[in-house]
A = this chain, B = another copy of it.
């Protein structure tokens, strides 16, 4: 795994955000953005908290980072593999490196990211995996809603 000290810090903040979101009754996915080793922003999924379907963890972090003319040197951390919306945002804003906690509970769009030249590192973090696994087991409908899976 190609994680340096900034990566460990960035990922730890994302995981803390995920737990915070879970404690709020939300979808427990967290994110943070670092630029050249410095924290720019953090965020968490707030679909439930704000009634906002676009408020995935990565989107919340991007929103909290505010208006920027460049994302050069930025790394985005997320506890879970980014979906099409979040991957698309990473591509749009030119974020070149993404560190993902796990892709077991949701495969996400890692290949789309890689096909657009984004470096993707998967941590395979057991804490994030366990947190998400419990959430999905206990909140299947909410999870399906969050990833656009229609229940029959």
Q: Once the chains bind, are B54 and A59 in contact (CB under 8 Å)?
A: yes
Cβ-based interface call for A84 (8 A) = yes
Copies of this chain, complex-wide, total: 2
Q: Once the chains bind, are B93 and A88 in contact (CB under 8 Å)?
A: no
**A148–chain B nearest beta-carbon distance, Å:** 4
Q: Once the chains bind, are A148 and B71 in contact (CB under 8 Å)?
A: yes
User: Bound complex: CA of A72 vs CA of B84, how far in Å?
Assistant: 18
Size of interface on A: residues with Cβ below 8 Å to B: 37
Q: Once the chains bind, are A67 and B145 in contact (CB under 8 Å)?
A: yes
Contact of A85 among B47, B85, B145 (CB under 8 A): B85
Return the chain B residue nearest A59 by Cβ: B54
Q: Once the chains bind, are A84 and B92 in contact (CB under 8 Å)?
A: yes
